Amino acid sequence: MTQDEASGERRIGRPSRQQAEAIEQRILETALTVFLRHGPAVPMKAIVEASGLSSKTIYARYPNKDALFIAALRHLLRSGAPGDELNFSETGDVHATLKEFVLRSLEIAYQPDSMALQRLLTIDPDFARQLAADIFSAVDRVFMDPLAAFLTRCRDAGRIRAIDIGETARAITTLILSDPAARYGDGRDPPDAAEMAERAGFVADLLFNGMAPR
Share of the chain above pLDDT 70, in %: 91
Which band of pLDDT confidence, cut at 50, 70 and 90, is reported for residue 7? very low
For residue 150, pLDDT over 70 is answered with: yes
For residue 1, pLDDT over 50 is answered with: no
d(CA 137, CA 150): 19
pLDDT on residue 214: 64
For residue 185, pLDDT over 90 is answered with: no
Which band of pLDDT confidence, cut at 50, 70 and 90, is reported for residue 22? very high
CA angle 56, 2, 25 (to 5 degrees): 65
pLDDT on residue 83: 59
CATH 1.10.10.60 correct for 3-79: yes
Average confidence score pLDDT of the chain: 88
d(CA 108, CA 136): 16
Q: What is the pTM of this model?
A: 0.81
d(CA 13, CA 150): 52
Half-sphere exposure (CA, 13 Å, Cβ side) for 130? 16
pLDDT on residue 124: 79
Domain borders along the chain are 3-79, 94-209
Which band of pLDDT confidence, cut at 50, 70 and 90, is reported for residue 3? very low
Q: Domain 94-209 belongs to what topology?
A: Tetracycline Repressor; domain 2 (1.10.357)
Digit-coded pLDDT (tens) for 25-57: 999 999 999 998 998 889 999 999 999 999 999
